[in-house]
Structure 1
Amino acid sequence: MSTRIVLIGAGSAMFGLGTVGDILRCKSLEGATIVLNDINPEALAFVEGVASRYVRDKGLPYKIEATTSLDDALKSANFCMISIEVGDRHTLWEEDWKVPMQYGFRQVYGENGGPGGLFHALRIIPPILGICERISAVCPDAFVFNLSNPMVRISQAVHTKFPHLKYVGICHEVASLIEHLPLLLNTPVENLDIKAGGFNHFSVLVEATYKDSGKDAYPDIRAKAPAYFAKAPAVFGYIGERALFQEILKRFGHLPITTDSHFGEYIPWAASVVDHRGILEFYSSYKATMRSNHDEALRRIADGTPPEEYWRVVPIIEGILNDSHHGELAVNVPNDGLIDYLPANQMVEVPGIIDGKGIHGVRLDPYPKAFAALLMTQVPVNDMTTEAVLRGSKEAALQAILVDPVCHDAKAAADLLDTMISLQKAHLGYLK
């Protein structure tokens, strides 16, 4: 029987066509059935048309199917990828970001952490839990890969409700750091052995070693990084957002794996040091890129996922099928003794080993104690976000804001929650 790979949210040209392109370039997946699923029939038809024509015109040994029925898509599935958004992505995202600022919350972005990340999570977790419920019923042995944000809070909720699922969260963010290290250290990337970890988008480089000599590369990183990142060259066509980045390196002695916009969402003092202009420029650039994906459909499928977006899901699928025992730089899995200081139920981002049984997290030992203290501030936020969704509880949602280190005012928190439920009633009205 051929491998059956289901892409849930495939109507997105960015995810759907890019991921199909990745699969089509993978020799060991030849003969696979790629099932495209989306709730938007027009978007799904567009992606299916481009993908089917490409396979037919190139004479490629793959089968493309498309359906708006999730249960039909999931029948006999071996691998399921989830990449969805809810509602008007950018309109809602900008509300997540800007409305809390109106109430005095000093959040530097609004996607993954802080109050903005909470509202994003409260919208997107319920439909993802619904998807996981159908996977659990229709194809319970399938491997489930989530690519949606806020990764930490989604993963926490899924693991809490469906602990038996073969679930893993995958994010490409560490790639932005990996591209800089060879330039910084003047050595090929193949000569570096690195380990990074923490929470998704809130993670640091823990170890770096030169493979040829076995020498610790971190002293060189600490010596060279300040000057390098003060005038870092463009990687993936983008420069900026390295002010908080440098502050973390200076104060905690470890290099963040991502830039100010994502990293700063979790830190109450981040607004005092981040590159605010860089964050605004990044958001504008990202928004423009998202809009261009539809117009560049053929390039998306021909090229696959570009490096700055490469989720590594296809190599993981290949590794499971081939029992490869290869390493991956970042997977989001339960903290089964992987990071000291954090509870076992938390979903952490660590390196992974891939084999025929699945994805196995790699322990980070020792983990930097001071940075772990920052991570621990997010544990109650993750837990109360999950509680709010599973119970449909407005009270728990308010508590999720109040335990967040970004929260500064109890009345402002309550008023903000009321406002956001009113603004986004179609998505948050279940909170009672």
Structure 2
Amino acid sequence: MSFKIAFIGAGSIGFTRGLLRDLLTVPEFAGIEVAFHDINPHNLDMVTQLCQRDIDENGLSIRIQPTVDRREALRGARYIFVTVRVGGLEAFQHDVDIPLKYGIDQCVGDTICAGGIMYGQRGIAEMLQICKDIREVAEPGCLLMNYANPMAMLTWACNKYGGVRTIGLCHGVQGGHWQIAEAFGLKQEEVDIICAGINHQTWYVQIKHNGEDMTGKLLEAFEAHPEFSRTEKVRIDMLRRFGYYSTESNGHLSEYVPWYRKRPEEIQDWIDLGTWINGETGGYLRVCTEGRNWFETDFPNWMKDAAFKYTPEERGHEHGSYIIEGLETGRVYRGHFNVVNNGVISNLPEDAIIEAPGYADRNGISMPHVGDLPLGCAAVCNVSISVQRLAVEAAVHGDDKLLRQAMMMDPLVGAVCNPKEIWQMVDEMLVAQEQWLPQYGAAIAAAKERLASEPRIPTRDYNGAARLKVKSVEEMQQDRESANRNAGESDKAKERPAAASEQR
């Protein structure tokens, strides 16, 4: 088979190298074209060298086409992976640090909450430009597979305003599926699930083992588990009160709802510092910073390490390669995809981006009808969908009033801040991120004027309830295996150490 795949944001080593391995594990794909694009030529060069070495050592003749010209990378592409972080770690720092001044303590800040909303403003503006290039130079009818966050907002904007068929892909469902099996003392393949909702708030509405419905037994299993009972307190509490387990990690979930991070003195009751994903303040920013610094420093050693093996047993669990395999070869793949609802989940809005079971084969991507979510689960999702809709429309139209309303409607922002504080925080975030927000020119000028001339609401120098310092390269050298895993996977904490209480 011969077709072209473009990676936009290829400097994201964690996704690019793994996705390429997964794709080239498929025997029929040994002759495809691969293009890498990134705006950072240094990162692009390092990732290209590493991936080309993998290709060569697996005996394939593919030559990666690296380019800083996005249109050149997209030209003739049938499939496009997007893994961009607009504004990089500099903007990400603002997403975490400015809200902290107002008492908003985020673990990640990439989905909703103050950081996720602003991340969406930057990302949507750029994604619509990517879509424009795709429409003009890519293969007609191509498929954009978005791995970038905020997943739902970006996928929503691309489908509604970008004019490009877009599907959002995330590995959260697989991670929770593994946890559920572990809690029951079973293998993942022995547990059947139906999971539905919205990205990062998807619910395991049915869990079966050998035909027996285990859904009602899950709370007891998690409460009895020696590790999860300590590290997943937010998820367990949501399971206790809503009846269903949620896909996303303890730290992620804690910032999507108003109950667990609004009082600094209570945050430690709900999180664990054994690994960042369990709720550490600014945890993902820290590990991303460490990963970038480590990869920059240790890259020569990466080139000396063993190459990735393109074998079935080494293939990862990201959906992207399996979708392409299904579409091109006809082999049926079942995964969980982020798509426009269109009635798949009956009690969520038609235009929302939902995450639900889907199938990929030669007929395309098919989404079976799920029906109604349990009423409480739907209510949690609908709150986030309202925030997403406001944020998408704000980003597309450069409407700072809608942006401020999105912040007000956000569960955690609204639980912590009053309207005047939210207005001033948005002004600060707009001004700090001006270079990545071209659609907000007039609003940013007005925000600068207000910040310079009007009395300021007092804020505080607050580092969060559970913030850890960024490790130096010298500290990371003491455990190179851990540092490599961090840089190579953008440390999604797939391998989690024991709970902090066990480590002490």
* TM norm. shorter chain > 0.5: yes
| 3-state SS of paired residue (1:20) | helix
Instruction: Please tell me whether Structure 1 or Structure 2 has the larger radius of gyration of its CA atoms.
Output: 2
Instruction: For 1:340-379, list aligned pairs within 5 A.
Output: 340-379=346-385
Q: Per-residue displacement from partner, 1:372-396 (whole Å, max 9, x unpaired)?
A: 1111112221111111111112222
Query: Deviation of residue 292 (structure 1)?
Result: 3.8
Query: Deviation of residue 312 (structure 1)?
Result: 1.9
TM-score with structure 2 setting the length: 0.77
Cross-structure match for 1:148:
148
Cross-structure match for 1:314:
321
Query: Deviation of residue 109 (structure 1)?
Result: 3.9
Structure 1 residues 396, 304: closer, same or farther in 2, change over 3 A?
farther
Runs of 4+ displaced beyond 3 Å = 104-109, 281-301, 303-310
Matched, 1:203 2:198: no
- Distance in 2 of aligned mates of 1:168 and 1:157: 11
Cross-structure match for 1:135:
134
Single out whichever of 263-272 and 197-206 deviates more from structure 2. 263-272
- Distance in 1 of aligned mates of 2:107 and 2:88: 21
Q: Is the 8 A contact 1:175 1:308 kept in 2?
A: no
Query: Deviation of residue 19 (structure 1)?
Result: 2.1
Cross-structure match for 2:239:
249
Query: Deviation of residue 307 (structure 1)?
Result: 9.3
- Distance in 1 of aligned mates of 2:319 and 2:247: 17
Match of 1:418 among 415, 421, 427: 427
- Distance in 1 of aligned mates of 2:69 and 2:232: 44
| 3-state SS of paired residue (1:176) | helix
Query: Deviation of residue 363 (structure 1)?
Result: 2.8
Matched, 1:384 2:390: yes
What is the percent sequence identity of the aligned residues? 26
Structure 1 residues 44, 246: closer, same or farther in 2, change over 3 A?
same
Query: Deviation of residue 170 (structure 1)?
Result: 0.4
Q: Is the 8 A contact 2:168 2:339 kept in 1?
A: yes
Q: Is the 8 A contact 2:194 2:206 kept in 1?
A: yes
Cross-structure match for 2:50:
50
Matched, 1:36 2:30: no
- Distance in 2 of aligned mates of 1:147 and 1:85: 10
User: Aligned AA for 1:312?
Assistant: H
Matched, 1:190 2:189: yes
Q: Per-residue displacement from partner, 1:170-202 (whole Å, max 9, x unpaired)?
A: 011122212223322233322221111211111
| 3-state SS of paired residue (1:10) | coil
TM-score with structure 1 setting the length: 0.89
User: Aligned AA for 2:252?
Assistant: H
Instruction: For 1:62-141, list aligned pairs within 5 A.
Output: 62-89=62-89, 91-105=90-104, 107-139=106-138, 140-141=140-141
Q: Is the 8 A contact 1:40 1:68 kept in 2?
A: yes
Query: Deviation of residue 159 (structure 1)?
Result: 1.8
Matched, 1:262 2:252: yes
- Distance in 2 of aligned mates of 1:304 and 1:218: 37
- Distance in 1 of aligned mates of 2:135 and 2:240: 46
User: Aligned AA for 2:330?
Assistant: D
Structure 1 residues 416, 45: closer, same or farther in 2, change over 3 A?
same
Match of 1:274 among 270, 274, 291: 270
Structure 1 residues 43, 109: closer, same or farther in 2, change over 3 A?
closer
Q: Per-residue displacement from partner, 1:109-147 (whole Å, max 9, x unpaired)?
A: 422111111111111211111111111222231111000
Cross-structure match for 1:231:
227
Query: Deviation of residue 82 (structure 1)?
Result: 0.4
Q: Gaps spanning 5+ residues in structure 1: where?
A: 234-239
Cross-structure match for 2:290:
288
- Distance in 1 of aligned mates of 2:310 and 2:295: 12
Number of paired residues?
A: 420
Q: Is the 8 A contact 1:96 1:110 kept in 2?
A: yes
| 3-state SS of paired residue (1:180) | helix
Structure 1 residues 291, 319: closer, same or farther in 2, change over 3 A?
farther
- Distance in 2 of aligned mates of 1:289 and 1:226: 33
Q: Gaps spanning 5+ residues in structure 2: where?
A: 444-504
- Distance in 2 of aligned mates of 1:167 and 1:378: 21
Q: Is the 8 A contact 2:58 2:310 kept in 1?
A: no
Single out whichever of 343-352 and 46-55 deviates more from structure 2. 46-55
- Distance in 2 of aligned mates of 1:290 and 1:304: 25
